[in-house]
Structure 1
Amino acid sequence: MRKFLNRALKKIGKLDIDQIRSLIMDVVQENELLEMVLYSMTDGVVVLDENHSVILLNKAAERLFPFKSGEVVERPLWDALADSGLSEFFHEALVEQENIEDKEISLQSGGSTRVLSCTMMPLVREGRIQGGLLHIEDITEKKAKEARLRRAENLAALTTLTAGVAHEIKNPLGSISIHIQLIQKALGNGAGKNTETIQNYLDIVNEEVERLNGIIVDFLFAVRPMDVNLVSQNLNELVHELFEFIHYELEEQKIRLDLNLDAQMPELQLDLKYMKQALLNIVKNAISAMPEGGCLRVETVARDDHVELSISDTGVGIPEENMTKIFEPYFTTKDFGSGLGLTLVYKIIKEHQGEINLESREGEGTSFTITLPVPQKEQRLLGWQSNEV
């Protein structure tokens, strides 16, 4: 088509009015086809000229990127963006002619985080670069699926590899504990100037044994299949019970509790013991993240086929490089943490056929959002009676 148009334009002086009208209609139809293809794409496309100014963008690009309100065409890309960090990045990359290939960018939008992959390609015509083409792909769900798959694979590997190891460790710990008790009893019946010192050492050993035993118990809990006992329960009631139990600790840590619970909460199928444990682990992490006090916000929202429970703190936040590791076994940033707390949370939520997502910014806080399915009512077939006599 383009070669035909080029030939026709060279002969335009010899064309009559009908031929010119037909030529213009062909151009319009080709342009409409290209626009239809461009605007039907789910990936964002931004076309730049030689001066890095926007000359064309599709609807997906407008949806994915934070462009300023008003006209953005004929403005440099960095001047057309509302996000200062994004603007600075593209200004430096384009001016310095740095390569942009599969660059992952995280953007906050409507309380959630989107992960975008951006690639800048040169527009070449007749062997000369005449602009640039920015391709934007939303890879949020792809990254989330990869993280979920990785966590599931880690748990599966732990199940087969370490259940036996944990059992072997637990047996000698029991024997050590029994013999320490015998030593303590013997020391109690005797006397000596070193008795008190030895007793202090034994107390420390006892504490370490208990700590190791707790780690083993948590570890076995993480790798063994759960025997969940699901009962019909209102999630709001469970939340109230949990914070009645922990409200004194929140007061001591100068943490304000902000509850915002949806009154129209349907009954869910929950294992009360396990679900309370999962929520308690998240809350304990939030408390640790706010050593100087802060605000703990808990919110429930009922949707059509699921409910959402979010627990947000105003703590120190999680570094971006740790975000994908936070649910992995034995990953911890605490000096005395087992690294299994959030692994257990993930497993409990999965046993309830739910999902858990994490959002965090360093210095601003962290938010966990748990999504749980609403049991669907049993579908019954309508009875049919014949009118035949």
Structure 2
Amino acid sequence: MAEISRRLARKLDKLTLPQVREVLEESCGKIDMMESVFQSVGTGLVIVDCQRNSFRVLMVNKAAERFVPFVQKMDGLPVWDCVTDKGVSTFLRDNIGSGRTNVSDEFTMTTPGGSVRFVVVSISPFITDARDGLIGSIVRIDDVTERRNQEILLHRMESLASLTNVAASVAHEIKNPLGAISIHIQLMQKAIRKKRAGDGMLPDPKFAEDYLDVVNSEIERLNKIVVDFLMAVRPLSVRMELSEPNALLSEFVSFFAPEFSASGIGVRTEFCEKCPRILLDGKLFREIFVNMAQNAISAINSRFPDGHGGLFGVSTTCDGDSFVVRFSDNGCGMDGETCARVFEPYFTTKADGTGLGMAMVYKIIKEFGGDIRVDSVQGEGTEFVVTLPVPQKDKRLLSYKAE
């Protein structure tokens, strides 16, 4: 196209009107072909004019409009005001508005149908030649939903397949004999009641029925254990989205504040300034916090019966590759043996505990691709350290800022 224009400019004085028309039609044909290619590529592309700080959209293809929501009328608006998603809009304003290129970030989009999609937005320099330098920016939008979903599915299958199969087999084998025992005990109770109503020659009720009632109670207890076990090992229904964990934790702390206040327990938070967005299920992340908070309240009340003097802390840090959350309390603490078994199903130190709370926490964190450890000193307090991965871009791009 540029070659045709230059050839036309050099020979314009020598060309007849039909020849000029022919060259222009050839140019229009090539422009139409380039426009078709631009609109047909599967990658979202947005061309932004950065001259005179207009930052307006010059061109946008159909893929970009499919991946990211745009306003209907973009004439004259800076590119960040053309995008309705707040996260993408802020990313474009902070980078294109400052002249930075060769940067990228990942975002979560919710479609009108309610499904979640993951897109990577990258900004590259738009340069015509060495003399003009940077005249604009090219915004590239890639849909990475399938790859993210495959990664999540593969991790889930690897971590839970064997355990789920074993658990289902064990539960099936236990539930069948429990059902038969329960039916036969009920028949025995019915026969005893019938005999006693007749000749009255059977022993005192406490000799038989009370013991059978205990057996029935234990059967119900065993059945509950099996049901709880199935709940603990069943694959979680996870809806992973890119979320800001600091914002979620702040929301959880505010929600639990009245309960801590009623127990006389103080709450201390310390969140890192630059919080990355990580792949989380918000509801399951809340489940982690609920278990941590409830265990902290129980431990603090064991050391401080009136609650006063108790302190629950939540802090976060980030080293680029990992996001770390620390839940701490100054409660009764745990000994080494308890710390080693705290994530085991059915292990509990509480009289009314099920022993499944921390097992579920461990399972959720593993679903997030993270890890958890516990540090505790008996009589002084406990700290749980949760480490979650920060999603990495496919390409580590060097940041560039125009002079």
| TM score, norm. by length of structure 1 | 0.46
| TM score, norm. by length of structure 2 | 0.44
Higher-RCO chain (CA-CA 8 Å, sequence separation at least 6)? 2
